[in-house]
Amino acid sequence: MKSFFNIFRLRRDERLPALVALVVIVALNALVICKYFDVFSVYRQGTWGPFPSKFHVSGFDALIYTMISNWTTFFTIVFRHPLLAFLLYPLYWINQGLFQLTGLNCVQLVWAVPATFCGLYSFVFLYRILRHVVRVSRADALLLSALMLSFGYVMLTLCTPDHFVLSLFLLLLTLCIAGCSMLTGRKLPTATTALLFVLTAGVTLSNGVKVWIAQLFVNRRSFFSPRNLVLGVLVPLLLMWATCQLEYRYIARPGEIARAEAKAKKNHGRPMAKKKPAKKDGKPMAEGTFMAWSDVSTPRLQSVVDNLFGETLQLHSSYLLQDVHGRRPVFVSYRSPLQYAAEALVALLFVAGIWCGRRSRFLWLCLSFFGFDMLIHLGLGFGLNEVYIMAAHWVFVIPIAIGFLFKASPMRLPRLLTGLLALYLFIYNGWLIADYML
């Protein structure tokens, strides 16, 4: 247990960079709190509260605020984020206590604490990966960690009330543990794998697969030992399945039935309005619980240019932080060709880093994370029309890959270009976010 908590101890060379990152993360959270505090601090009974109708930051949902204010869960939460409601349950009681003391709904302040913690240690874990696993210099590790912090949807992930900051933290924790295990030649224990799977899949179900991929890369053939397959894969998977079923049956479904009955009673005698199809949702592969979220019609190449490597890294000033299910078109163009040049430069550095690190087992582990997400988004089309909000699941692979370029090349040019990119993105994205929030 002591060794587990040691991972959160800041080393001497990490303290000053962590302090700078902390200031940035706190400032971002303060912007969101200031924008919505007058509305959200008024406690309102009800399932949803004011959050869905009042919170508007791109495609991010305010479900975290809803669940901390009026603890409940929903069908989409149960089967996509099975343990999220339970992880937030202590925060619900803290918020209730603060309400009794202050008469205010302090949900924004309550959530800002774990969000800041997860954001800070995401930065720290990335720095450690670059410094001790990729083995670049301290200056290079700081530069690349700052680059990730400057990406538009990383900045938003750190301050919005959605689950993505938790996923960013857990995925980088998994990579940090896996990378250190590779470095020392140790195996990734079954118990550690099971715990990481439960937490990671509990926040976002699909990300649990990445924990198994990490153990496969570290342990290689021993991953397939009967003991590991049973205790590290089968048992946690069955636990997650049972949790989903019980959570839906005893928590989510009764609430859904009650809301449906109340709505039917309210609308009794009124003509039923026809539901308009969502024009910006792509055509699904098939109807069903999960395949209904797929998309075969949205253009892939344009999605990569405008959204995956576009909006993810540098925000579009047109339709700034608008929701694709609202006024924002699926595709928005940049106003200047130089912005496309910046995007192309990031992609070029990324590809060059992959080439330089092509013999690294750790880089291939990171790329397997990236490839898994690309299969989900570009292959199956899940969330493709707003793929940028899922950046936290994969975007850290970019600075890690560029780290291998830095390691292989003593040239100053890649570092100069990366530094200019980080400075530009931080100022550009930070200015737009501050302008939107204020």
Give the model confidence (pLDDT) of 53-99 as tens digits: 899 999 999 989 988 998 876 666 777 888 998 999 999 999 999 99
Residue 321 lies in a domain: yes
Name which of 176, 55, 171, 66 is nearest 111 in CA terms. 66
- CB contact set of 35 (below 8 Å; sequence gap of 6+): 437, 438
- pTM value > 0.85: yes
According to the model, what pLDDT value does residue 288 have? 59
Interval 372-400 mean pLDDT: 95
pLDDT band of residue 123 (cuts 50, 70, 90) is very high
Number of domains forming the structure of the chain: 1
* pLDDT tens digits for range 142-155: 999 999 999 999 99
Residue 190 lies in a domain: yes
pLDDT band of residue 20 (cuts 50, 70, 90) is very high
Name which of 354, 356, 350, 282 is nearest 313 in CA terms. 350
pLDDT band of residue 137 (cuts 50, 70, 90) is very high
d(CA 149, CA 358): 25
- CB contact set of 143 (below 8 Å; sequence gap of 6+): 415, 418, 419, 422
Residue 7 lies in a domain: no
- CB contact set of 309 (below 8 Å; sequence gap of 6+): 343, 346, 347
Residue 298 lies in a domain: yes
Range of the domain at 96: 31-263+291-435
Contact 399, 130 (CB under 8 A): yes
Residue 278 lies in a domain: no
Residue 431 lies in a domain: yes
Interval 185-207 mean pLDDT: 94
pLDDT band of residue 52 (cuts 50, 70, 90) is confident
pLDDT band of residue 271 (cuts 50, 70, 90) is low
Rounded to the nearest integer, the mean pLDDT of the chain is 91
Residue 409 lies in a domain: yes
Residue 9 lies in a domain: no
